[in-house]
A = this chain, B = another copy of it.
Amino acid sequence: MKFAILVNEGPYQHQASDSAYQFAVAAIESGHEVARVFFYHDGVNNGSNLTTPPQDDRHIQKRWSALAAESGVDLVLCVAACQRRGMVDEGERDRNKKDAINVADGFRISGLGQLIEAGIEADRLLTFGD
């Protein structure tokens, strides 16, 4: 079965991002496909490569990036949410004249249409939030 996941909260503050990750791993281990994880609202902060969590704690961004690399999960950050929260890739840097880039490997910025498309194409769309 093909799953899509919506994540509405940032890393560490709420358990939503942890729950979504554990669900995605279990879905893949169960033989399902996780086609896309769409990060909306503060959820886009999951994609920041500037985090340095304590060494004895989980590294939420790296966990997601590894999932994308190993299982081909499409990690999409909502562009409008990124603009409000300061998540920048090359295109956004040039467009909005910013000095830095902070979107981690495996994540890409795109529009809300990617969420709707995921809802249409996946067999199940599942939301994790606050």
> Which residues of B have CB within 8 Å of A41?
13
Q: Which of B54, B61, B99 contacts A83 (CB 8 A)?
A: B54
Q: Interface code A98-109, partner B: CB below 8 Å = 1, 0 otherwise?
A: 111110000000
Q: Shortest CB–CB separation between residue A99 and chain B, in angstroms?
A: 8
Q: Which of B10, B49, B57 contacts A10 (CB 8 A)?
A: B10
Q: Which residues in window 11-60 of A have CB below 8 A to B?
A: 11-13, 41-42, 45, 48-54, 57
Given contacts A57-B84, A99-B100, 6 further A-B contacts (CB under 8 A): A13-B41, A50-B100, A51-B85, A51-B86, A54-B80, A100-B100
Q: How far is the CA of A102 from the CA of B13 in the complex (A)?
A: 20
